[in-house]
Structure 1
Amino acid sequence: MVVRALEARDRQRARSAPPPDGREIRILLLHANGMGGTIRTVFNLAGYLARTHDVEIVSVVREREEPFLPVPPGVRVRYLDDRLPRRKGLLSRFPSRLVPKDEAAYHWFTLRTDLKLVRYIRSRRRGILIGTRPGLNLIAARFAPPEIITVAQEHGNLSSHQPLVRKQIIRRYGRHDAVVTLTQADLRTYERSFGKARKDLPAVLAQVPNATPRLNGGVSPLTAKTVVTVGRLTWGKGYDLLIRAWAHVAARHPDWTLRIYGGGPRQEKLQASIDKRGLSERVFLEGPAEDVGAVLADASMFVLSSRHEGMPMVILEAMSKGVPVVSYDCPTGPKEMITHGHDGLLVKPEKIHAMADAICALIEDEDLRREMGANALKTAARYDLDVIGARWEDLLSDLVARRRGLPPGGPLAHEPAGAGEHDAGERPGPLGAAVSDVVRTPDGTTARLSQNA
């Protein structure tokens, strides 16, 4: 009943709404004061966009006094549900009614956050709203007023979501002006899933990778007998597999150590596995890394043991320090970031001995390690913030143009600096893929603008 009333109100608002513009950008984030890859990449993108836009990160919850990561210059942070006073109120006792129960972050959402989010979204009168996880994107799809351009950003991959969440995504994401994936593989998965379900695609279905954050510290000399990995201590990161693989590495190279940086719910289980295998002097759970750049600059190899990923930014962070990467070829991400034998090694997913052999291959061949490290630096440069940020500027400008009925790349009310220097139409990104790969044409059909080079 309430949703129908809002839809009727939106039809009235649409008739008198001013032309859309892209000056104001608001990015919905679950908890801006936490730590993790999504938060780092959102801060990274927000800082770039703040050069030419009014940018605010809207954090659903606040459970830490200050942000763990530095807020970029020109970016504001707003908190909807401030939980620091520890007096959460009556509505916080009830679970969310808007976020699917199978959403990975469901436990963060309550009836209070539902109301805060809807109230905030409905209050918007102009600009662009970017969501960064399924729960936020689904709420934005249902409640964003007609004046607002909405973008659903996928920080994982469609296949990694639970069935109920995937069903809701395919049902509702078509309402967004754009859905943006991190990888070409996930872009194709989204396209197939919309087609199979016979659901409308969003106006633009695009792939834009994350940019490499600029970290402290210099390039690694690759002299330390240290292998590192960075990430949350969760099942999906596969550290249980890595510890088992390291037992074989330690038998061949007892002078090398593995350092795992991150916190999370599996810490006790992982420590028990380390102790059980007699690796307490070879494998160390270091806790969260306050300076990821310094950690990577002191390493000679980075290992990713994940069972699944979106686009693991930590691979690019390691490469930006000239550190070669050994990674499971998990879905999705690593294959599109690592060229096997050039800047790293890809290993068949969840294979313990294959992972151990790949690590040992780089330990035993210093020349190969250095060659791959040098190539890794060149790979990371392709994901520089200025390169990826420009792709986002182009994408957002195109969305405003589409809403105004102008051709992509046409003149806008707010045009980012340098936007007029681009040719209209398709603009290749740094990896050979155009900004917008699949669009819905005016007659309702879909068209693919480009394929991978």
Structure 2
Amino acid sequence: MTQRDIFFVANEVDELGGVGRWQAQLATLLAGRGHRVTIVGIAPAGHPMDLGENPPFRTVTLYARRPPGRPRPRRLLGSADPAVRRHDAHMRAAASRLTGLFRAAAPGAVVIVTQVWAMEWVALADTAGHTVIGMTHESFETARKSSRFGRVKKYYGTVDRLLALTQEDADRWVGEGMNNLGFMPNPLPLAPGEPSPRTEKVVASIGRLSHEKGVDLLLDAWAEAAPRQPGWTLRIYGRGESEAELRRRCAELGVEDSVDFAGQTDDVPGALRASSVFVQSSRGEGFPLVLLEAMASGVPCVAFDCAPGVREIVGHEEDGLLARPGNTSELARHLVRLMSDEELRDRMGEQALRSVRRFDPDAITDRWERLFDFLER
């Protein structure tokens, strides 16, 4: 296998969250195959995660602080507006640093643009002779509801390959006139280890306390489920801007005694092993790593079927249960089924352990290397 210079270009090098964790994991996997890996961030992370003392890749950040967006030019001046010209000059200067990194790379280098905002700088840099792969780490529907939709079509239209997370999402982008699509699932973020015994009366939720993660919807579902299964606890791991509002909602629903706001955890496997059911109530997702982690811990999942990546991971009635997006009563019924039936929990938990192995990190890394070889030809 050819050993290459591989650049990840992202919004940040080490932002806490799913994309940051995926990026650090894949960079480590590729470095383990002998590739020379660099992660380039446009700006410093607002909430950095720990990359460890000696990560097997180098890191570069282009700006000392997050740059402002491009100002809207005054009508009479257009692109001659001094504020616009200053902004564009700063972008070109930062992009020239990328050009320097790319020109110093050996032939056969690969540039993986993790997020479309970062692609705005890559588009200004000289990538001649290198393969450029763009990525969208969210479902087509989530992108369609945001400003990223137009930017994906604008900035990723000419890259060598645009990767979605699932075949279903890739097909939707093809329907928008994009003709360079592929898809690549996320690798399992941890090796299946000691599974949960599934004996604790705990339903776990892990994720940022934000509107997108739908913990408010989860609390509504829990208010229906908890009275039907006394003695169970909903343990919510995470921090975020919605925490105070969610605590108030918990009190309004009268479920404070059965809900534990456990804060941020640095031990996700331990949190999962201490639970018997995992629940995800997101309004939108890409290819959620925490579902993979729960299944690797032998914990059956209940989730809203809010994205192709969710149903790609969880097989309804096989290794977990899926509810229609936003349907809190259906989510509650699924929770009660698993909470009330130990045999069902065990059967689905054991099947989750088996089925999640299709996302084995070595197998996903093999797919990346085959893609590099194919695009070089």
TM-score (norm 1): 0.73
* 1:407 match: none
1:138–1:173 CA contact under 8 A, matched in 2: no
2:30–2:365 CA contact under 8 A, matched in 1: yes
* 2:80 match: none
How much has 1:390 moved relative to structure 2? Answer: 0.6
How much has 1:116 moved relative to structure 2? Answer: 6.0
2:13–2:45 CA contact under 8 A, matched in 1: no
Letter in 2 for 1:175: T
Change (3 A) 1:231 1:208: same
* 2:96 match: 119
- Select which of 92, 95, 110 maps to 2:69: 95
Letter in 1 for 2:69: P
* 1:224 match: 200
- Select which of 33, 42, 60 maps to 1:78: 60
1:222–1:299 CA contact under 8 A, matched in 2: yes
2:95–2:121 CA contact under 8 A, matched in 1: yes
Alpha-carbon separation, structure 2, partners of 1:282 and 1:117: 51
Aligned length: 355
* 1:433 match: none
2:137–2:287 CA contact under 8 A, matched in 1: yes
Change (3 A) 1:325 1:163: closer
| 1:386 maps to 2:362 | yes
* 2:115 match: 133
2:206–2:237 CA contact under 8 A, matched in 1: yes
What is the Cα-based RMSD across aligned positions, in Å? 2.4
Listed as ranges, the gaps of 5+ residues in structure 2 are 73-86
Q: Deviations over 1:297-353 (max 9, x none)?
A: 111111111111111111111000011001111123111111111100011111111
Alpha-carbon separation, structure 2, partners of 1:361 and 1:312: 23
2:279–2:301 CA contact under 8 A, matched in 1: yes
Percentage identity across paired residues of the two chains: 33
| 1:170 maps to 2:148 | no
- Select which of 173, 177, 190 maps to 2:173: 190
- Select which of 33, 37, 40 maps to 1:58: 40
Alpha-carbon separation, structure 2, partners of 1:246 and 1:69: 35
Alpha-carbon separation, structure 1, partners of 2:118 and 2:57: 20
| 1:158 maps to 2:132 | no
How much has 1:265 moved relative to structure 2? Answer: 1.5
Alpha-carbon separation, structure 2, partners of 1:122 and 1:249: 56
Alpha-carbon separation, structure 2, partners of 1:72 and 1:321: 28
How much has 1:267 moved relative to structure 2? Answer: 1.2
| 1:210 maps to 2:192 | no
- SS for the counterpart of 1:341 is coil
* 1:49 match: 30
How much has 1:66 moved relative to structure 2? Answer: 6.9
- SS for the counterpart of 2:359 is coil
2:166–2:312 CA contact under 8 A, matched in 1: yes
| 1:279 maps to 2:261 | no
- SS for the counterpart of 1:175 is coil
Letter in 2 for 1:184: Q
How much has 1:129 moved relative to structure 2? Answer: 1.2
- SS for the counterpart of 2:63 is strand
My pick for the range that moved more, 126-135 or 181-190, is 126-135
Alpha-carbon separation, structure 1, partners of 2:219 and 2:90: 38
* 1:12 match: none
* 1:432 match: none
| 1:318 maps to 2:291 | no
Alpha-carbon separation, structure 2, partners of 1:122 and 1:97: 25
* 1:429 match: none
Alpha-carbon separation, structure 2, partners of 1:220 and 1:112: 55
1:308–1:332 CA contact under 8 A, matched in 2: no
2:63–2:94 CA contact under 8 A, matched in 1: no
My pick for the range that moved more, 222-231 or 169-178, is 169-178
Alignment of 1:252-271 (within 5 A): 252-271=228-247
- Select which of 354, 365, 368 maps to 2:330: 354
Alpha-carbon separation, structure 2, partners of 1:179 and 1:187: 9
- Select which of 352, 374, 377 maps to 1:398: 374
How much has 1:78 moved relative to structure 2? Answer: 2.1
How much has 1:284 moved relative to structure 2? Answer: 2.2
Alpha-carbon separation, structure 2, partners of 1:112 and 1:302: 49
Alpha-carbon separation, structure 1, partners of 2:207 and 2:171: 27
How much has 1:357 moved relative to structure 2? Answer: 0.6
* 1:405 match: none
Listed as ranges, the gaps of 5+ residues in structure 1 are 1-20, 99-109, 195-199, 402-453
Change (3 A) 1:234 1:67: closer
